[in-house]
Structure 1
Amino acid sequence: MRNRNGVGLDNEEKKRFWEDLDEMVRGVPSNEKFFIEGNFNGYIGSSLRGYDDVHGDYRLGVRNVEGVVLLDFSRAFRLVVVNLNFPKKEVHLVTFCSFVFKTQIDFLLLRKGDRDICKNYKVLSSESLSTQHTFLAMDIEIRKE
């Protein structure tokens, strides 16, 4: 799923987005793997503050309301924000860059039990989707049993 939880949406539209995503995730059988990648316009921030079960030690900035919503959603569905679990230089954490600031607003989510299939992720600044966003990719390894 590709999220476009856009800046400037009113609270009702944001609420509808999270309800739709909630319904979609609930519809995925527990034995199936799924990945969510999206621009959540949320800042998770550099502090773990109660969410160490959802993300790792590699993040930027200060948490905002949208970041808290994303972390709460992840916790409720036993998801992990996988691109915060790999040591990277700051330049490889940034998924949005403007003249004013550099930050992480794009995230990769998957079930905690599937965390080990993600081997790495990359921010590919040379593959910019726009002048401010970068391309986010995940390396996965799925073995057929």
Structure 2
Amino acid sequence: MGVAGMRILRWMCGHTRPDKIRNECIRDKTGVTPIAEKMREAQLKWFGHVQKRPLEALVRRCESLVSRHVKRGRGRPIKTWNETIRKDMMYVDINEIMTKDRGQ
């Protein structure tokens, strides 16, 4: 998504790859934020929404599900949603309480 998006932004500005203009300059010129930041923002908003729900709610119960009796395959362990959220919170330097506050 990032490559295709940058290609469209370059086309909008009238530049091509051989012009060797950095992606940050193109984004500044068009006023577009990187897609990774928007995805991180949306995930943290959803996390705050889920945390507001009572512990009996289905989404909160699914949060703690662990498949204990399933043999894991070879290779790297699967990245969980909680791991992703924790890394995003560290990146943005916020805590769980701040994700619940919609005003920020």
Using structure 1 for the length normalisation, give the TM-score. 0.24
The structure whose Rg is larger is 2
Higher strand share: 1
TM-score (norm 2): 0.30
